Each structure stands twice: as structure tokens, then as C-alpha cells.
Amino acid sequence: MPGATAIGVVFSEGVILASERRMSYGTFVMSKSARKLFKITEKIGLACAGLMSDMQVLVKEATYFANMFKYENNRDMTPHALSKLLSNLLFANRMFPLITQTLVGGFDGEKPGVYVLDPVGSVIQDEYAAVGTGAEISLGVLEASYKPNMSYEESKELVIKALKAAVERDSGSGNGFDVMAITKKGIKEEFIPA
């Protein structure tokens, strides 16, 4: 898996997705400004780690299906439904998999959720998750400090702390952090320099 770290955390009012910006293959840094966070709808975001081309394919498919669902049903697709759809897509390609680990975050009705997908389509819902080469380090920080119903500021601080820990130990991660907050009001994005 090419270097990257992405994190998803459920907080009291929504979901935070975050990732760092370094795109590397082995020891070679190809880009220091690669975005790995993607807005799919006003209530759903994706964070990915893996091959950039495969991320782009997955995001294109997710956006298409979410838009078609809204057009045909006159309502937004839920993150759970999008996760299951992406799971089917990934499983259908299991013999030639998309090399990406994915986090889907957003609102299922009134409840925020984070879903983790592996390259062959497994889906797991969790309160917090991390994927990529820095996931093990990030998960240690998240497990030690995460509490249900944290505020936005507490959650954002925890996510940045977890990403900083990953960047310190994972040479495939770095170069600042993109943070996406998904609430009932919509999506707010920001960049935080390292």
C-alpha cells in the first residue's frame, strides 16, 4: 500500500475525516500536496489511502451513484448505502482490486457514522477508524483518548494529534493535514500546515 494516513472520528454533532497530503511510492515522494479527502454529497465525505488513480476511480463512481440515487429517488443517499454500494464495487473487482483503503463518513438520517472499507469490499462501521501506512500509530492515539460525544474542537484536536503521531513515525505520511467536518449544516473543510 503506498504511503498515506486517513482518519475518521464520530463526534457529538457529526463526523471528522482527515488525511495528510504526502503521496509516496516506497521511499519516493511524488507529491507534497495530494488531497485524499473528497466531498461526495453535502452530507457524505470520503477519505482514502492507497493508489491515487484507484482513489479517483472510487470517488468518481461514488459521486456518480450518489447523484443518480438523488435524481431517481428525490432524496440523498445515506453513508451506509454508499458504503454497501462501494463494497459491492470493490468485491466485484477482487481479482484485480482497487488498491485503496477507504473511510466513508456522514449522516444516516439523524445519526453520524464512519465506515471502513478494505480493497476487497469488507465494510465495518465504527466510532473512529484509521487507514493507510500510519494507521497503527494513529489508532493507538485514538484508542487512548477517544470518548463518545466529544465536541468538534476536542475531536479535531484528537485527530490532529493522531495524524502528527503517524507523520513522526511513517515516512509515507506528511506535509500538512486536510480536515473535513460533516454536520447537519453541511461540510466544512480546512487545511492545517504541519
Residues designated as active site: 5
Handedness of CA 73, 78, 80, 82 (dihedral sign): positive
Distance of CA 79 to the CA centre of its chain: 12
User: 0.85 exceeded by the pTM?
Assistant: yes
Written as tens digits, the pLDDT of the chain (194 aa) is 677 899 999 999 999 999 999 998 878 888 999 999 999 999 999 999 999 999 999 999 999 999 999 999 999 999 999 999 999 999 999 999 999 999 999 988 789 999 999 999 999 999 999 999 999 999 999 999 999 999 999 999 999 999 999 999 888 888 999 999 999 999 999 999 97
Q: Which domains does the chain have, with CATH numbers?
A: 5-192 (3.60.20.10)
Please list, residue by residue across 98-112, b when 16 or more beta carbons sit within 10 angstroms of its beta carbon and e when fewer do: bebbbbbbbbbeeeb
